[in-house]
Structure 1
Amino acid sequence: MKKSVTVFILVFIIVTFAGAMYYLYSKNQEDPVVYQTEKPSVRTIVNKTVATGSIIPLEEVLIKPNISGVIEEIYVEGGDVLKANDLIAKIKVIPNLATLNQAKNAIQTAEIALNDEKRRYNRQKNLFDKGVISKEEMERAEVTFKQAEQSYNAAKQNYDIVKTGSTKGLGSSANTLIRSTVSGMVLEMPVEVGNQVIQSNNFNEGTTIAALADVNRMIFEGKVDESEVGKIKEGYPLEITVGAIENATFDAVLDYIAPKGKLENGAIQFEIKGTLHKADTTFIRAGLSANASIILSRADSVLSIKEALVQFDETTKKPFVEVKTGEKQFEKREIALGISDGLNVEVKEGLDENDEIKIWNKIKTM
């Protein structure tokens, strides 16, 4: 019995020893760890933030009628370039019956007053011819008669305006003729022939007949998050990219940052505006979506490395990299960093172009 136990123990020891030797042999056969390296490079680093928005005209003028009615004719369409006072549309007046009746009654009242003053004038003239009244009394009667005549003519003109929107003698000032008030391109014509329009007054904005703007004076209007608004200032340069225009970038200057933010989708957003500098003939349509890269800082032709190569000391929190000094040998070297664009970072001190930096956090391929 004791002999069997002894044999079992010896066999177990031999098997365990053989397994350990095989494990050590397998480990020795594995390839040694080889670290890859990268060298610093000279590049331009731009630190920027991006705002989303759209391209809109600096000034957009809405043309509204000063009389209510129905669109009878339209003379322009979107895309036409107009000068100030160019004809846009014509309105056919649909008179209000109550107002029309009042204007008609005003004519009759003024006619009665005119006939009365005419009889008085003729009577005074006869008396003046006979030498009964003075010249002063005659002149007073003449003035009163002419005033009554003027009131009668004014009542008739008012009746014509109420009925047709125009009257004899107004010419280009007729309310029914809608003209452009500024020079610019027609952005849109939101009305069509037959549409009813409402006049613009103190109580109503009125119906928009046309929208005009100078398309050579465009701005970017967008929004930035509250986390970014503290990093930007008025006067910062912008790089505008328009989604509908490929391979084109437009320069602009940030000239407005809203003093108050608005809550949108759970985040505070601040409105910004930037004036575009169009140095070429590219036509940018109003309302196109665009992105604005706000340049916070820039370093041209500086020594840089990838941010993934940078490590930080656990105690001092200072940045460092591991620089190759020999075959499989690296030394720790502290560096001074500059601006970063999120992928690459400027190296101010500690490295030169010939140094080889260990890629310490490279993801292994499975």
Structure 2
Amino acid sequence: MRKKYMFKKIFYTLLVLLFLALFVGTGWFLYQKSQKPPVIFSTSSPVMGNIEQVTVASGTIVPRKEVTIKPKISGIINEISVKAGDVVRKGDVLAKIRIVPNLVNLNEAENRLEKAKIQYDNAKVELQRQRRMLEQKLVPEKEFSRYELEFENANADLQAAQKNLTLLKEGVAKKESKENNTLVESTVAGTILNVPIKEGATVVETNSYNEGTTIAVVADMSSLVFEGTIDESDVGKLHEGMEINLTIGAIEKETFRATLEYIAPKGEKEANGSAVKFQIKAAVEPKEGVVIRAGYSANGKIVLARRENVLTLKEGLIQYDDEQKPFVEIETAPQQFEKRPIKIGLSDGINAEIVSGLSEKDHIKDAPVLPQKQG
């Protein structure tokens, strides 16, 4: 009986110990499970390299000299002699205009001519009569001179009236046929960029009150200019003579050199009013065998500053204190870091020049390494 009692006592004791072991083990497991693994940080070191601070200007390629040709008279286009892409010389005929005179002006000119003829005939008859009287010494020579002057004035009025009527009908006077207003001539040598009119179209002459109808646009395509805009934050770093590397969207795998020659003294706000842009112009250097057309869109890369063979560090590793002074965290022992102030120079937005405070041997705190999941 005593043995049986001892056996039960031992059994229950072991059972209690087993439950205690399971409870403690479960608690320890859950505790370990709740503990976050220590954060391990990777490190990076500064490297020697080059830093370029660049800005990009967007714009278009345009001819340096572009001229719009307009007619000297109003009328109807009778003939067009050129098309876009043609090369012309100064004085070449681009189009011919047929005069359509204004009926009111034409009627006035005809009436003026009739009156001038009557005055001329009367002055001529009177002059002949006075000449005969002068020969007979019936009138003094001074009196005769007055009739001569009246005849000359009548003759001048008649010629002016005839010229005016001819101009209204034909656009050119007979004695001035070398300058025919009905012929639209190119005022410069170059390439025809655009002919916006067609035969049969009505055109209006250019004058003080009207710009006139454009017959053609002529440009010298041997001298091209890049016209672009640049942000106000960068314009102060530009100066005339700077080199620009152009990339033209329509011409793949080609870059073109350009020289900055103009910076606008006044900026213009963009349409949304959020930024101020300044216009720039640069002379484009053509490449043999490559055709650049007017109106091509282009981007100009301008190097504002450059540092070669300097110590560089990724911008993302640089931190700033409350006073906006830069610093980094240096590894002093495995996974132990301390702050170290540094001095930075030029930055390209990705890497920064390290002026002082670091060496290539230093290890800087980088991004944390994610722990691998247990399978």
AA at the equivalent of 2:276: Q
**Paired position in structure 1 for 2:248:** 242
The answer for the alignment partner of 2:199 in structure 1 is 193
SS in 2 for 1:284: coil
Whole-Å separation in 1 of the counterparts to 2:370 and 2:154: 103
Partners of 1:14 and 1:225 lie apart in 2 by 73
* Cα separation, 2, equivalents of 1:291 and 1:229: 15
User: 1:321–1:335: 8 Å Cα contact kept in structure 2?
Assistant: no
Q: Distance in 2 between matches of 1:359 and 1:222?
A: 42
SS of match in other structure, 1:267? coil
- Corresponding residue to 1:15 among 19, 22, 26: 22
Q: Which amino acid aligns with 1:110?
A: A
- Shift of residue 198, structure 1, vs aligned partner: 0.6
Give the count of matched residue pairs: 358
Aligned counterparts, 1:1-366, within 5 A? 13-19=20-26, 33=40, 35=42, 37-38=44-45, 40-43=47-50, 45-225=51-231, 228=233, 231-235=236-240, 237=242, 238-246=244-252, 247-253=254-260, 255-278=262-285, 280-281=287-288, 282-312=290-320, 317-320=325-328, 322=330, 333-352=340-359, 354-355=360-361, 357-358=363-364, 360-361=366-367
CA RMSD of aligned residues (A): 3.6
Question: In structure 2, how many angstroms separate the alpha carbons of the residues matched to 1:10 and 1:63?
Answer: 109
> Which stretch of the first structure deviates more once superposed, 65-74 or 138-147?
138-147
Q: What's the CA shift for 1:53?
A: 2.2
Structure-2 separation of matches of 1:316 and 1:189: 60
Whole-Å Cα distance in 2 between the matches of residues 170 and 298 of structure 1? Answer: 65
Asked if 1 retains the 8 angstrom alpha-carbon contact of 2:57 and 2:301, the reply is yes
TM, length-normalised to structure 2 = 0.81
CA distance in 1, matches of 2:216, 2:16: 103
User: C-alpha deviations, 1:193-250, integer Å up to 9, x for none?
Assistant: 1111111111111111112222333333333445x35644453734332211223133
CA-CA distance at 1:55 after TM superposition: 2.0
| Matched residue SS, 1:173 | coil
The answer to whether the 8 A contact 1:255-1:275 is kept is: yes
**Secondary structure at the residue paired with 1:265?**
coil
Give the match's secondary structure for 1:244: coil
User: Secondary structure in 1 aligned to 2:174?
Assistant: coil
C-alpha spacing 1:365/1:136, structure 2 compared with 1 (3 Å) = farther
SS in 1 for 2:275: strand
Larger Rg: 2
Distance in 2, matches of 1:140 and 1:362, equals 114
Are the structure 2 counterparts of residues 315 and 15 from structure 1 closer, same or farther at C-alpha, using a change threshold of 3 Å? Answer: farther
The residue type equivalent to 1:291 in the other structure is N
Q: Secondary structure at the match of 1:115?
A: helix
- Counterparts of 1:187 and 1:24 in 2: how far apart (Å)? 81
Deviation of 1:108 after TM superposition, in Å, equals 0.4
Q: Give unmatched runs, 5+ long, in structure 2.
A: 1-11
The CA deviation at 1:36 is 5.3
User: Aligned AA for 1:187?
Assistant: L
Which amino acid is 1:51 matched to?
A
- Offset of residue 275 of structure 1: 2.1
Contact 1:313-1:320 within 8 A present in 2 as well: no
TM-score, length basis structure 1? 0.83
**Kindly tell me: are residues 314 and 95 of structure 1, through their superposed partners in 2, closer, same or farther at Cα, counting changes over 3 Å?**
closer
With over 3 angstroms needed to count, the CA separation of the structure-2 counterparts of 1:107 and 1:47, relative to structure 1, is same
* Alpha-carbon spacing, 1:118–1:34, altered in 2? closer, same or farther (3 Å): closer
Alignment partners' CA distance in 1, 2:133 and 2:371: 123
By how many angstroms is 1:122 displaced? Answer: 0.9
Distance of 1:132 and 1:8 partners within structure 2: 171
Contact 1:61/1:213, CA 8 A, preserved across alignment: yes
